[in-house]
Amino acid sequence: MVFGRIFCSQLNVLEWRKECDFELRNNLDVWRIFIPDFIGRITDEIHLVNDKELSKSDSFIQEEDKIRFLLGKIYLRKILSSYLKIAPEEVVFSFTEFNKPYLDAYPNLNFNLSHSGDYVIIGLSNRWSVGVDIEVMNTKNDLFSMIYNTMSVVEVPSILNSDTPRLMFYKHWTRKEALLKGVGIGLIDDLKGFSVCDGFNFVPSELSNFTSTLNVRNFIMDDEYSVSIAYDTTIRVIRFYEFNTV
């Protein structure tokens, strides 16, 4: 089997800016949306959601899951429209065989979305694929079962022997999801088949694009969210933005 490389590390996010030039050069832009600030806008902006998405939203049992889904679709279109200089209504998604959305008319603009708890996270890059994942570090989940079912033989002892096993688990979990989303595969069954420990990791080539090393970086947000981003090492600048209610 041919192997590729990924480089995993921690990231310190110092500032979430509110003003953006909406110019994607060779950078990665990461946006966060605080859901409670925008719940009241769903009715006014529901026209940005298509019939298929509305139908899917009705399948959610929990109201909070429905709200997260709808706001993610609405504000993904609004953010993309600002970069593309078009109306949000003109943002039309196509889908790969693995159900990853893309824009037929703008093949160089790559994006990915994740939501959990009170936040939606969106990553955008020019030319290079990007993957993002956010998870609430839920204290109610069966941590030991999740560790043994999803982590590699290298990761299990490092997580269990850590002073903060829950934080360590979610660091690895979100890194794996961000990597899989970044390469366009989505969640697979064999999460135990590769590692995302700090430093270099060898992974099957289909998980790394093999054209270059991928960065997979993690940070903690608001002390209760684990967030990971996966992106090509060609990208040198990461900018962080908070979507404004104004």
Domain extents in the chain? 3-242
Q: Tell me if 126 sits within 8 A of 144, measured CB to CB.
A: no
Indicate the Cα dihedral angle 94, 97, 98, 101, nearest 10°.
-10
pLDDT at 115: 96
Superfamily classification of domain 3-242: 4'-phosphopantetheinyl transferase domain (3.90.470.20)
pLDDT at 189: 66
Task: Specify the 3-state DSSP secondary structure of 164.
Answer: coil
At a CB cut-off of 8 Å and minimum separation 6, what does 54 contact?
46
Say what percent of the chain tops pLDDT 90. 77
Task: Give the tokens for residue 212.
Answer: 């270059």
Quote the pTM value: 0.94
pLDDT at 210: 58
- Which whole number is the average pLDDT over 163-188? 90
- pLDDT at residue 63 above 60? yes
Integer CA distances (angstroms), 205 to 1, 2, 202, 211, 213, in order: 8, 6, 9, 9, 10
